[in-house]
Chains A and B, each alone.
Chain A
Amino acid sequence: MIEIILLFKITAAVIALESKNLLSAVISLGGVGFGLAVIMVFLGAPDVALVQILIEVVLLIILIKATVSRDETDVKGQGEYFNIILCIALLGLLYVAVLYVLAVMPRFGYALPQDPSYEIPSLVYLTRGIEHTGSANIVTAILLGYRAFDSLGEAAVLFAAVAGALTILRKAKKDEEK
């Protein structure tokens, strides 16, 4: 099932890249994101799927409202010959690398050792998370309890993004105050 959705995502990504119309490219990009959300549901990660669907909806609206609705830009010109060859070579290299990585990865869903005497962090989170943090949702317990500094970094990135957008587009704000 996941492979079918992956194929759908790859197709949508190729369409988004190759489409000459900006609007159809944006909608194809939305297809990629929603496919990822469905994959997350199949893998048993409702938290990630929820966030993925929401961010995809907001992103689609922002892209259409702020980018596409301005004018229908048709991308012209064709890719150069050398670039295509380089792309195919890089893709081949990536394929070989991914094959090597997949060979040594543990089976999907069985990354944890089954012996509880191992004191690795993820096992401790799973078995003693409620007792440590008092949060029944283990994802939130990790995000805001064990790994709270990582969440602080994400919040700082968001803050920096907003500050950057406000600074670069300040001309519009001045017009607003007039």
Chain B
Amino acid sequence: MKKNKGMADTVKIVTDILKGFVFIYGVNIVLYGHLSPGGGFAGGLIIAFLLILMFLVFGREEIFRRFTRKTAHTLETAAAVVFLLLVSFEVIPGGIGLLEFFENLITGRTFRLVSGGRIPLGNIALGVKVAASIFLVFTVLAIFRETEKEEEKDDK
């Protein structure tokens, strides 16, 4: 019980097959957020859900070897800074020029994937941020509960 080795082999195999599809679905929801229902928040939640699923199925050592909590912290903070820059171009001095640069960078006919100026960029930043945040909250709560359980056992 001390080492959380995850669930049964059947669940592990099914998750192994499914994880790529779930990830691509989440990325799809994020990238097409300016064209179809969805967006950064929903897609980020799907990716966070995939991380939580892998945490539950494979155990925490496995997921922390690939995606450490430090990586999650870094991603979350970086995405927050990028999002802050993206939405505050109008306010910071000299920002209008930068905004026009971005609007010209991602230009294209409406209803195409590459269109919409800064809105797809904002979606991507928000998606990364939401995925990292929800995963961090989950890991903190789960590990907190597990250590509490172990301490109760030690007391007995």
Assess whether A145 is in contact with B133, with CB atoms less than 8 Å apart.
Answer: no
In the bound complex, do residue B141 and residue A165 qualify as a contact, i.e. CB atoms below 8 Å apart? yes
| CB atoms of A47 and B42 under 8 A apart | yes
A residues less than 8 Å from B142 (CB atoms): 65-66
Query: Which residues from chain B contact A67 at a C-beta distance below 8 Å?
Result: 145
Contact of B143 among A149, A156, A172 (CB under 8 A): A172
Among A54, A161, A169, the residue within 8 A (CB) of B144 is A169
Of A47, A134, A169, which contacts B116 at CB under 8 A? A134
Question: In the complex, which residue of chain A has the Cβ closest to the Cβ of B103?
Answer: A134
Contact of A137 among B37, B84, B134, B143 (CB under 8 A): B37
Tell me which of A46, A54, A148, A176 contacts B45 (CB under 8 A).
A54
The distance in angstroms between the C-alpha atoms of A57 and B110, with both chains bound, is: 33
Flag if A169 contacts B80 (CB, 8 Å). Answer: no
Q: Which residues of B contact A158 (CB under 8 A)?
A: 129-130, 133
Give A124-162 as 1s and 0s: 1 = Cβ < 8 Å from B's Cβ atoms.
000000100111110111011100110110011011011
CA distance A156 to B130 in the complex (A): 11
B49→A58 contact, CB < 8 A: yes
Q: Any chain B CB within 8 A of the CB of A175?
A: yes
Per-position 1/0 for B118-156, Cβ under 8 A of A: 110011001001100110111011111101110000000
Classify the secondary structure of B's interface with A. Answer: helix
Using a Cβ–Cβ cut-off of 8 Å, how many residues does chain A contribute to the interface with B? 45
Contact call B117/A175, Cβ cutoff below 8 A: no
- CB neighbours of B119 from chain A (8 A): 133-135, 140-141, 144-145
Residue among B34, B49, B133 having the largest count of chain A Cβ atoms under 10 Å: B34
Which A-chain residue is minimally distant from B55 (CB atoms)?
A65
Query: Are the C-beta atoms of B33 and A137 separated by less than 8 Å?
Result: yes
Q: Is the CB of A139 within 8 A of B76?
A: no
- Decide if A176 touches B143 in the complex (CB within 8 Å): yes
- A78 and B66 CA atoms in complex are apart in Å by 49
A161 touches B56 (CB 8 A): no
Complex CA distance for A93 and B46, rounded to whole angstroms: 41
Cβ–Cβ < 8 Å partners of A136 in chain B: 34-35, 110-111, 116
Q: What chain A residues lie within 8 Å of B116 (beta carbons)? A: 133-136
**21 cross-chain CB contacts under 8 A:** A47-B38, A50-B38, A54-B49, A58-B134, A58-B138, A61-B56, A62-B138, A66-B141, A67-B145, A70-B149, A134-B107, A136-B116, A143-B39, A144-B119, A144-B126, A151-B83, A155-B83, A162-B76, A162-B136, A169-B141, A171-B144
